[in-house]
Chain A
């Protein structure tokens, strides 16, 4: 019950932050909130749009959750997302022509695998070579983006060689879309399954328990004979895998091809999403949906107002600050109630 109240307070705070931002941009709050709402949840197309935006945020957000809960501050969601897309495109190029359903699945596995390798490498660098994950993953983001640019001008470029994009996937390989009117694809369910899987992993398995102990206190983990380094590398592999999955699901579900602008910062935005979700899988789902809705809504909003794309990052920044502030305030209140030593 307490938790519920807490989330309600936080949600009210977030709505307030959006209103504040709209006001700061000089917009009519009621009217633009209405646009936002219509764009995010007004009809089934809008809801589909929200869910499609929320999918990569959920998956990459889960990736951040897994790494951060293990004490590995993975900032490399963006690079892992990109590498996921690249891995998928490589498999698509090599195996095009085999049964489409099988190809789709192989593409997805390849994307997750590529992301996992990148994550595991960053983890390995920290554990074995003392290179902080925060640093290495930031640099790997640049590497991955450059690799994408290069491959779109080289091995992965479409066969006509006219533009810097990869070959479009044939429709049969793309993920199923229940409604042709909407972008909604079955990748949404992959994200949902991933939430459940990560939740079960963290909460109900020995491996997840070890992971959390390592994140809470590496020294306590060591004293309990947990192999801290191995756990951290595994957490980074899983984290990278989830971020890679986010990328490849967008590739095989939404875009169908890679371009220079493929990543759209989903891997970065996943970090505040995970933090606002309290580094908890379900919380991440909620906050990813919230931001998915914000993205979807602002796409409609910008058709009617001059605000452009700046709303979402502004809201996001403010929301993170507001979240930190609200959390501080709520904690302080409960502390004052319970008393301290």
Chain B
């Protein structure tokens, strides 16, 4: 650790506040960031992490407070000037032009105005050299949009480092990566700090923060909670700082399984482009059993889940999927119709018979059903007529979970059901899935989060290039 803590902070945030309408996103936050350190900014969804980083990056104008970088005040609300000072940001949603090659994306970031010949090689050179130094291989001629997510992120990081980068801000960089890719990324971050770069890492996974951070600052609901060196704290304390209280760990279950509910043999399916991505899968799941399906994103999990949910064509044998409750991966695009009301979204998914039996959908029945679910699942909202898009991510997912599990389906298929949710909402979804299994459902849990699989699954298989690769019982890891 090459911490320069003695020589004063490279970047200091001094009592900044920001309100959006009546919502106070940040209140009087101060923090100091030192060169040569990985500084994790930790907090649940809505804690204000992204707002704070956006402020440093010049994208968000603070209502009051100042930012001091290298001894002088940082311009506010001017992302280009901030970038020029060496503060670089890697956004959670990549800012690559998918149609351009990697080289052209590098060049784009360095492009200046004027009508001159475009020398992409020259403009991209710095990023390419940094990549070589870090030992990252990137295919310069590949189109950015065709790269795997992990590779795209590398391109994004190299793009950010080109020129003279002094502060690198990463917004939840591990959300899309496999465990091996996470390790590799952390290695690179350490290499960068040894060169004196200050790395700011937005995170909400404790294990990752413990693994890579030198220093940590915790925010909760827009307020500063604590800041210290990582050696001065521990996991439990961080969790407590984040949520205020520790969620109960799920109990290890010891249950008998029932008869086989879902049995499949030689399942094959193609993705939307017509490429076969599920390449011969055999599976068997019994009543009351949770089968975890892990693996890196993009190995056919989503397609297999869609086959099980009955919304994708497949070949091969598959029995027992007549009555499936489906919690799709992307609640905003697949799970909900965001423009429609909360009430109406309660009807999506399985189209419950008690509402859809007749020629007419009666508003009274719709309302009753919605209120029953809202009460049972403790969904917080303004009015049931509001659009689903007005809800927070956690409450959106509660709608999907509520309407799916309340039908007591014999089979549940859930794909990354807690992605992007805070600890409490995660805990909630987990307990509902366990409850469904306890009540005799056969549950498929697709997740890229190993902790989640370890906590919930009775059995876990991994998907790699369309096939299951290994299988082990919970705990045998």
Contacts and interface: CB of A to CB of B under 8 A. Distances in A.
A208 B349 CA distance: 16
Nearest to B340: A216
A339 B309 contact: no
Contacts of A225: 309-311, 351
Contacts of A216: 337-340
B326 A339 contact: no
Nearest to B359: A205
B404 to A, nearest CB: 10
A195 to B, nearest CB: 17
Contacts of A221: 337
B339 to A, nearest CB: 5
A336 interface: yes
B21 interface: yes
A327 interface: no
A223 B338 contact: no
Interface residues of A, number: 24
Contacts of A340: 20-21, 23
Interface residues of B, number: 33
B275 interface: no
A205 to B, nearest CB: 6
A9 interface: no
A156 to B, nearest CB: 39
A209 B309 CA distance: 21
B347 interface: yes
B328 interface: yes
A220 B20 contact: no
A204 B356 CA distance: 10
Contacts of B338: 216-217
B334 A219 contact: yes
A108 interface: no
Interface string B332-348: 01111111100010011
A212 B339 CA distance: 10
A338 B21 contact: yes
Nearest to A210: B351
Contacts of B326: 223
Contacts of A213: 337, 340, 348
B333 A219 contact: yes
A212 B388 CA distance: 14
Nearest to B351: A224
B72 interface: no
A202 to B, nearest CB: 11
Given A204-B363, A205-B360, A225-B311, A220 B21 contact: no
Given A206-B356, A220-B335, A339 B361 contact: no
29 contacts: A200-B360, A204-B360, A204-B361, A204-B363, A206-B356, A212-B340, A212-B344, A213-B337, A213-B348, A216-B338, A216-B340, A219-B334, A220-B333, A220-B335, A220-B337, A222-B311, A223-B326, A224-B349, A224-B350, A225-B311, A225-B351, A336-B21, A337-B21, A338-B21, A338-B22, A339-B21, A340-B21, A341-B20, A341-B46
Given A209-B344, A339-B23, 11 more contacts: A205-B359, A212-B344, A213-B337, A213-B348, A216-B338, A217-B338, A220-B333, A224-B350, A225-B310, A339-B20, A341-B46
Interface of B: 20-23, 46, 306, 309-311, 326, 328, 330, 333-340, 344, 347-351, 356, 359-363, 392
The 10 nearest A-B residue pairs measured at CB: A339-B21, A216-B337, A339-B22, A223-B334, A217-B337, A223-B328, A219-B333, A216-B339, A204-B360, A224-B348
